Structure formats: C-alpha cells, structure tokens
C-alpha cells in the first residue's frame, strides 16, 4: 500500500508542541488511512483522510472538533482526542493538500479482534461473552444517545471484541453527530440501515441507530442476517434494486410469528434455526418488538436501556448442561428446563437471591450493585462479588467479597462468620449473607 504519511517520518502538525513520528501504517479504506504514531512517547492511532473524503463531507472537521470537545461517552469508544492539520513545512514535504486533516485516537489493543471475525466463525468465544459484548454495546450507545448524539453507522465493521471477557471497542467515531442535525452525508452500512433511511423517508438519527443496533445484536447472537430468509433465495443477484426491496420496501423478520413468507430455509439458513432457540423468550421478544412492531414504526423500537436490562438477566441465568457442557439460558431458574443441544434435563443450579434478581451460582459469575437496588442501572464493569471454584475441588463454590467492607454470613448450623474484604465464603455452608448493599440468600 502507498502510504499518505511515510513510515518512519517525523512530521509537524498544528496543535502539537513536538513532531510526531509515523511508526507504521495499520490499514486503509474508502475514507483514508490509519497509522500507529508516537506522540511525545505515547503510542496512538492517527486516521488521515483522503482529500476526496473531505470533499464529499466538508463538515467532517467541524463534527470532529465538536466530538473532541464533548469527550467520549464512555471508555468503550476509540474517541477522537485531537484534530490535526499539517503545518506548511509538513504539507510541502509530503505533498499534502492545505485542506488535509486527520485525528488522533487511542490505539486498539491486539487482543481485540473485529466483530466480523466472530460473525464468520473464525474466533472462539463463549455465548456468555457474546451476550456480555451485546450488553456493553447497549451500554455504550445508551451513553452516546444520552449526550444527544447519534452514531449513524452501527455495523459489524465498527466493533472489536475481546473474546476472553466480551469487552468491546467502537471505532470510526467520525460518523457521530448531534441527533437531528444534517451535517453528515453518512447513511450507514448496507444490511444495517433502517428501512426509513434506505427509502429516503428520514435521516439517520437515534431511532435508526436503535434499528441498526438490533441488527448488530442479532448478527452477533445468531451469526445470521435478520432479514435474509426464504425471500432471499429468490434473489439471484443482490444488486441495489434487490437490496432496496429486501431491506427497505418489503423488510420482513425471518422469525416474524405472524408472517412466514421470509422464514429461514432449513438447508440455507441452518445457523439461524440452531441459534435462535438458545435464547430465552424475554430476549427474543426484544427482537420481535424492533423487527415486527418497530420495523416501520421507529418510535416502537427497543431502547438501549431495555437491551441492558434483559441481557444482564440473561447472563445471570446462564447454566451449563451436565451432559454436553453447552451453555443454556433459561428464563426462569426455578422451572425445570431441558438443554437446547442434547435435550437432557438441566440440573437445578444453586442460586443467589438478591433484592433485584436471581443469579445462577457457577464459576466466574458476578454480582453487581444493581442486583441490590432496582433503581440502579445494570452495570457489568464493577462487580462487588464473584463466584469462584475451590483450587483443589472445582465442584466446591465460594463467593468472594470484592468490596472494601466486611460481610456477615449465616451458616447452615445457625452460626455467624465474617467474610472480610477480599476473602471467600463456602456457598455450600452459607444460607444468607448480610452486606452493606443488601442481603444475599443462597438456595440449592
């Protein structure tokens, strides 16, 4: 690739007190190229735009400047941190246009891989961590929308996942704009664009973001397109007219319970038919709301906070099948259920009952402040307790106190013991825990 900014060069830019060093090119696309750079000893990423991109979107520098001043909605965004324009010396040295510009952002850690890799089945990641990624996406876009902003181009191509934790990073934040404003030419990525935007009936905004988010979550959870079912098989070439009909004129959810015209084909769409039943009805209902009631009624689409609530509960209810080891997500932990994979009866798990939810006790499960208070928004980044296995007997589970305050445990023999900060209690021996946040009742 021919790099706009020569690798190894020292370049001066307005806004920087010292020259930055271009370490290496990372990649490029239709808008420009991305480089790893050294700025005063800190390694960052620099996205530099092609002049043609700025000509198509002349308001881009203004939006970037506003985003930089507004700061990132939360830490999951690789947010612009500085807008760079070349000094005359730099522009002359590497033949840059006077209108050229770029922006600095954080460098993506190497253990974050593109969400498209998961969609293609090229990475190993548990269903629990896919659901965690979905929660973090809902949380990130909730934070964005709460600032009066919209993303406009939510898609697989803008998301990175950490397979071991489900953590996410959102890139390409130069699409972000004030909701309702028309300073951008960005409409979205084909397959993720809301019908009203594709049909030129509305501009991208928070309502279309909610549709795109639902598409993204469905693709992450099922590795299938929510609108490509039986109707797709009659399309020989997915050209612009065909795409417009499938996604804009006549969009139909493949699991619409009231219209089977676009149901999945058992041979061509096996992934959707296998994965959809894995998830509980409460989660399926959110997709039905957005892709049925909300398909042509943007105000009826599922909100980011609703995704967070249901996904947090779904993760709480995860249990493993004793026979095949597959992850299961029953709606109700007290109701007998069978494994979606081998049809064996699922063993009733030991549970942690809190004021605002029930958590199936299994290794690495965590409890959070929202479990004690229904008025606290769900948060999966700040656990206050963690279920851990005994180092010499994995079948023995304990609950570790991750807070700075001691807990009081009531044991099955009626005695009391203190669980100090950082210490663990044996769940098999505990019937109730008293914490400063509230009580935890254990059941078997």
Q: Is the pLDDT of residue 444 over 80?
A: no
Name the domain boundary from 65, 83, 105: 105
The pTM of the whole model exceeds 0.85: yes
- Mark whether 239 and 373 lie in a shared domain: no
Q: How many CB atoms lie within 10 A of CB 363?
A: 12
Residue 142, CB-side half-sphere exposure with 13 Å CA sphere: 17
Q: Is residue 410 part of a domain?
A: yes
Q: Do residues 93 and 133 share a domain? A: no
Residue 261 sits in a domain whose CATH number is 1.10.510.10
Check whether 183 has a pLDDT greater than 80: no
142 in the same domain as 288: yes
Does residue 362 form part of some domain? yes
- How many independent structural domains does the chain possess? 3
Q: What is the pLDDT of residues 372-388, one digit of tens each?
A: 999 999 999 999 999 99
Burial class (CB in 10 A: 0-12, 13-18, 19+), 258: exposed
In this prediction, residue 236 carries a pLDDT of 83
Other C-beta atoms lying within 10 Å of the C-beta of residue 208: 27
Task: Kindly tell me if the per-residue pLDDT of 30 is higher than 90.
Answer: no
Rounded to whole angstroms, how far apart are CA atoms 152 and 192? 10
Residue 370 sits at φ, ψ, to 5 deg, of: -70, -20
- Report the pLDDT averaged over residues 127-133: 99
Task: Please tell me whether residue 181 adopts helix, strand or coil conformation.
Answer: coil
User: 248 lies in which domain range?
Assistant: 113-309
**Contacts (Cβ under 8 Å, ≥6 apart) of 234:** none
State the residue for tokens 């098999």: 428
Q: In terms of domains, do 134 and 88 share one?
A: no
Are 234 and 265 found together in one domain? yes
Sheet of strand 168-170: strand arrangement: 113-114, 159-161, 168-170
User: Residue 274: inside a domain, yes or no?
Assistant: yes
Task: Decide if 198 contacts 247 (C-beta within 8 A).
Answer: yes
Sign of CA dihedral 360, 365, 371, 377: negative
Query: What are the CA-CA distances from residue 372 to residues 52, 130, 369 (Å)?
Result: 53, 25, 6
Q: Are residues 95 and 222 in the same domain?
A: no
Domain boundary among 105, 125, 143: 105
Task: Find out whether 387 and 399 touch, Cβ atoms under 8 Å.
Answer: yes
Task: Let me know if 32 is exposed, middle or buried by CB neighbors in 10 A (0-12, 13-18, 19+).
Answer: buried
Examine residue 194 and state whether it is found in any structural domain, yes or no.
Answer: yes
Check the CA dihedral 391-396-402-408 and report its sign: negative
Give the CATH number for residue 79: 3.30.200.20
**Using CA atoms, how far apart are residues 117 and 113, in angstroms rounded to an integer?**
7
Note whether residue 319 is domain-resident.
Answer: no
More confident residue, 51 or 164: 164
Helices (H), 160-222: 195-198, 206-222
Token reading at 326: 């597959």
Residue 234 is predicted with a pLDDT of 86
Instruction: Tell me: pLDDT of 97 over 80.
Output: no
Q: Considering the domain boundaries, does residue 192 fall inside one?
A: yes
φ/ψ region of 111 (left if φ > 0, alpha if ψ in -120 to 50, else beta) reads alpha
Where in 177-253 does DSSP place strands (E)?
177-178
Instruction: State whether 97 and 121 are in the same domain.
Output: no
Query: What stretch of H or E contains 140?
Result: helix 127-146
Give 149-165 pLDDT, tens digit per residue: 999 999 999 999 999 99
Instruction: Give the C-alpha separation, 7 to 37, whole Å.
Output: 9
Cα-Cα-Cα-Cα dihedral of 121, 124, 129, 131, to 10°?
20
CATH code: domain of residue 399: 2.60.200
* Residues 231-283 pLDDT 10s: 999 888 888 999 999 999 999 999 999 999 999 999 999 999 999 999 999 99
Residue 416 located in a structural domain: yes
For residue 175, what is the DSSP state? G
What is the distance between the alpha carbons of residues 249 and 242, in angstroms, rounded to a whole number? Answer: 10
Q: What is the largest CA-CA distance in the chain?
A: 81
382 is written with which tokens?
């700040």
Same domain, 125 and 235: yes
Give a yes or no: residue 184 inside a domain. yes
Residue ending a domain, choose from 285, 309, 333: 309
pLDDT digits (tens, 9 = 90+) for 360-369: 999 999 999 9
């Amino acid at each position: 690739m021919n790099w706009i900014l020569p690798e190894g060069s020292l370049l001066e830019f307005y806004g920087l007190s010292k020259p930055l060093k271009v370490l290496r090119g990372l990649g490029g696309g239709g808008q420009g190229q991305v480089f790893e750079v050294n700025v005063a000893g800190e390694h960052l990423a620099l996205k530099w735009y092609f002049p043609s991109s700025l000509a198509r979107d002349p308001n881009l520098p203004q939006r970037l400047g506003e985003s930089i001043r507004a700061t990132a909605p939360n830490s999951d965004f690789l947010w612009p941190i500085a807008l760079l324009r070349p000094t005359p010396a730099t522009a002359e040295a590497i033949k840059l246009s006077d209108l050229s510009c770029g922006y600095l952002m954080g460098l993506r850690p190497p253990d974050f891989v593109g969400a498209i890799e998961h969609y293609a089945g090229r990475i190993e990641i548990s269903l629990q961590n896919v659901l965690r990624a979905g929660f973090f996406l809902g949380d990130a876009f909730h934070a964005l929308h709460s600032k009066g902003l919209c993303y406009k181009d939510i898609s697989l191509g803008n998301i990175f996942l950490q397979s071991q934790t489900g953590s996410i990073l959102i890139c390409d934040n130069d699409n972000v704009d004030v909701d309702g404003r028309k300073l951008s030419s960005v409409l979205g990525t084909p397959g993720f664009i809301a019908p009203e935007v594709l049909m030129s009936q509305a501009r991208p905004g928070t309502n279309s973001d909610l549709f795109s988010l639902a598409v993204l979550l469905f693709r992450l959870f099922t590795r299938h397109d929510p609108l490509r079912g039986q109707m797709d098989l009659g399309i020989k070439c997915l050209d612009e007219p065909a795409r417009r009909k499938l996604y804009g004129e006549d969009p139909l959810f493949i699991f619409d319970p009231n219209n089977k015209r676009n149901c999945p084909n058992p041979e061509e769409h096996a992934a959707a038919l296998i994965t959809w039943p894995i998830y509980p009805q409460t989660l399926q209902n959110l997709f039905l709301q957005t892709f049925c009631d909300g398909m042509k009624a943007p105000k009826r689409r599922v909100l980011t906070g609703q995704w967070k609530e249901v996904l947090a509960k779904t993760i709480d209810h995860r249990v493993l099948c004793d026979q095949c080891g597959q992850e299961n997500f029953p709606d109700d932990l007290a109701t007998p259920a069978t494994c979606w994979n081998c049809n064996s009866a699922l063993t009733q798990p030991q549970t942690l009952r809190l004021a605002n939810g029930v958590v199936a006790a299994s290794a690495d499960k965590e409890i959070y402040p929202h479990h004690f208070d229904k008025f606290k928004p769900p948060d999966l980044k700040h656990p206050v307790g963690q279920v851990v296995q005994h180092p010499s007997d994995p079948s023995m589970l304990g609950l570790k106190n991750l807070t700075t305050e001691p807990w009081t445990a009531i044991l099955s023999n009626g005695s009391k013991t203190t669980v100090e900060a950082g210490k663990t209690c044996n769940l098999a021996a505990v019937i109730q825990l008293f914490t400063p946040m509230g009580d935890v009742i254990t059941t078997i």
